[in-house]
Amino acid sequence: MRQVNLHVEGVPNPNAIKFVLENGVLTQELYEFRLFSDTGYSPLARKLMMLKYIERVLIFKNHITVLKTAGSGIEWEGVLPEIRAIISGHLANNEPILYLGIAERKHAKNDDDLLEMIGQILDRHIRPAAQEDGGDILVESFENGVLKVSLAGSCHGCPYVSTTINQGLLPVVKQFIPEVQEVIWK
């Protein structure tokens, strides 16, 4: 059995919570599981999403972010011990976090030069803060002045996302690429 040092961090999204592994790395790539059917490549995500109140699971670097179903009436204080026990037990028993073939589920990089530049700006100025809070912002497309991004982990459904996008992401990206006039997210 492996010793697991795990602590919990709150994030701005009240429907999300972040479990941080203090003594190890889970994965170098970001993986988000939005549906139970997506969890075939992650036994840990599968276990977590078997809980009826868990809607999404994000695994990245040394943390796992779980999102509860909004409006479920579930309070974190009542379920944290159960979630912590699942994660700790899984890691202590050295069970696999991800299976081979998971790389196919990674967010695809775009070959478009402008999208690549936007991605680099986000990597430098925006994504570190989102990732620190247990989430992420990923570039999807850019067309006719509109940048489309997807929100992962705790960023999904966060009550502060509009402020983050309109007062953080948009002005930073526009500073470097004035063609960006609007950002929409999913």
* 32-39 contact pairs (CB < 8 A, 24+): 32/56, 32/57, 32/58, 32/59, 32/136, 32/152, 32/153, 33/57, 33/58, 33/59, 38/105
Give residue-wise pLDDT tens across range 84-126: 999 999 999 999 998 876 765 555 555 578 888 898 999 999 9
- The pLDDT assigned to 88 comes to 96
Total-model pTM: 0.81
Compute the distance between CA of residue 127 and CA of residue 138 in angstroms, rounded to an integer.
8
Nearest to 163 by CA among 134, 140, 117, 129: 129
- The pLDDT assigned to 116 comes to 87
Q: What's the burial of 38, exposed, middle or buried (CB within 10 Å: 0-12/13-18/19+)? A: middle
**Strand 135-143, strand 63-68: pairing:** unpaired
Q: How many CA atoms lie within 13 A of 12 on its CB side?
A: 18
Give residue-wise pLDDT tens across range 112-166: 788 888 989 999 999 999 999 999 999 999 999 999 999 999 999 999 999 999 9
Domains and CATH numbers, the chain: 6-105 (3.30.1370.70), 113-185 (3.30.300.130)
- The pLDDT assigned to 99 comes to 85
Tokens 């899984």 -> residue: 90
- The pLDDT assigned to 86 comes to 97
